[in-house]
Amino acid sequence: MSSILRAVNLRKVYPNGVEALKGVSVEVAEGEVVGLMGPSGSGKSSLLHLVAGLEKPTEGEIYLLGKSLTQMSEKELAELRQKHIGFVFQFYYLLEDFSVLENLTIVGELAGIRGSRERALEILEYLRLTHRLKHRPSQLSGGEQQRVAIGRALMLQPSLLLADEPTGNLDLAEAHRIFELFLQLREERGLSLLVATHNEELKVYFDRLYRLKDGELV
């Protein structure tokens, strides 16, 4: 399998002097589900933000589909994220004043995609959320909100899905359902996934696993 993501010797030092990553290298092959495990503060979120092009590394290189992110302008990074990367956050960040359907369609409309509503309806049917189209996020369960967040990330048909503690606010049964959905997305849509979690019970879902502690691989 060819590599979709390769990060080499990433180091990240924030303006306050905190060294979040200390020479971390990771790789994700096409169609792989790769885990990032470690306690809170171990550098998982920093690593995901770097490989998503949301932040710049202090040192190191990041390649997505063979292209160097560290050499790109902000405009080029934005275009790359729009075409190839989906990001699922722990706290959902759904738009509370909009319905489930609108939370997805607005992503497509902002990206200038034709047929955004049709694509959103297709994704929501896939995620078993068609009975919630007109509901607002506050009317949904935690698991339903997370599925909407995943659906929003799928709107631009990414090659790589990044997820930062996507089940941190869910009970274990719902967490297993979300991870089963990730495997289904890999099998049916060819997605590659890099998922951060601290929950050891979920490691069975990963093809490979990286463990972080204090900004280093262990």
pLDDT confidence of residue 163: 95
Q: How far is CA 215 from CA 37, 44, 61, 187, 208, in A?
A: 12, 8, 16, 32, 19
Q: 12-16, 99-103, 152-156, 168-172: lowest mean pLDDT where?
A: 168-172
In angstroms, rounded to a whole number, what is the distance separating the alpha carbons of residues 12 and 56?
Answer: 8
Q: Is the pLDDT of residue 7 over 90?
A: yes
pLDDT confidence of residue 48: 96
pLDDT confidence of residue 156: 87
Q: Is the pLDDT of residue 40 over 70?
A: yes
Domain 3-93+159-217 sits in CATH 3.40.50.300: yes
Confidence of residue 135 (pLDDT cuts 50, 70, 90): very high
pLDDT confidence of residue 8: 97
Confidence of residue 119 (pLDDT cuts 50, 70, 90): very high
* Of the candidates 172, 174, 165, 130, the residue with the CA atom closest to the CA atom of residue 148: 130
Average pLDDT value for residue range 183-195: 93
pLDDT confidence of residue 80: 87
Domain spans of the chain, in order of start? 3-93+159-217
Helix, strand, or coil (residue 18): coil
Token code pair at residue 210: 């990286």
- Could you tell me if 81 and 74 are in contact, meaning their C-beta atoms sit under 8 angstroms apart? no
* Of the candidates 121, 82, 128, the residue with the CA atom closest to the CA atom of residue 104: 121
Average pLDDT value for residue range 166-190: 90
pLDDT confidence of residue 95: 94
pLDDT tens figures, 62-105: 999 999 998 888 899 888 888 899 999 888 889 999 999 999 99
Average pLDDT value for residue range 124-149: 93
In angstroms, rounded to a whole number, what is the distance separating the alpha carbons of residues 167 and 160?
Answer: 18
Q: How many CB atoms lie within 10 A of CB 129?
A: 20
Q: Is the pLDDT of residue 1 over 80?
A: no
Q: Please, which residues bridge with residue 211 across strands?
A: 37
β-pair type (208-213, 33-37): parallel
- Could you tell me if 36 and 213 are in contact, meaning their C-beta atoms sit under 8 angstroms apart? no
